[in-house]
Chain A
Amino acid sequence: MSGTGQDDTHRRIERVARESYGRLVAYLSAHTRDVASAEDALSDALVKALTAWPRDGLPQNPEAWLLTTARHAIIDHVRHQQVVLASEPTLMLLREGHEDMTLSVKFPDERLKLLFVCAHPAIDPAMHTPLMLQTVLGLDAARIAGAFLVSPKTMGQRLVRAKTKIRDGGIRFEIPQERELPQRLDAVLEAIYAAFGVGWDDMAGVDRRGRELAEEGIWLGRVLLELLPSEAEVHGLLALMLHCEARRAARRGQDGRYVPLSEQDPKLWSLPLIEEAEGHLAEAFKNGRFGRFQLEAAIQSVHAERARSGRTEWEAIVRFYEQLIGISPALGTQTGYAAAVGEAKGPETGLAVLDGIDLKAVSCYQPYWAVRAHLLQRLGRTPEAKDAYDRAIGLTEDPAVKEFLLQRRG
Chain B
Amino acid sequence: MRNVFIIDDHPVIRLAVRMILENEGYCVVGENDNGVDAMQMVRECQPDLLILDISIPKLDGLEVLTRFHGMNVPFKILVLTAQAPALFAIRCMQSGAAGFVCKQEALSELISAVRAVFSGYNYFPSQALIPSREDDGQLQELELFKAINDRELMVLQLFAQGRSNKEIATGMFLSNKTVSTYKKRLMQKLQANSLVELIEMAKRNALV
Determine if chain A interacts with chain B: no
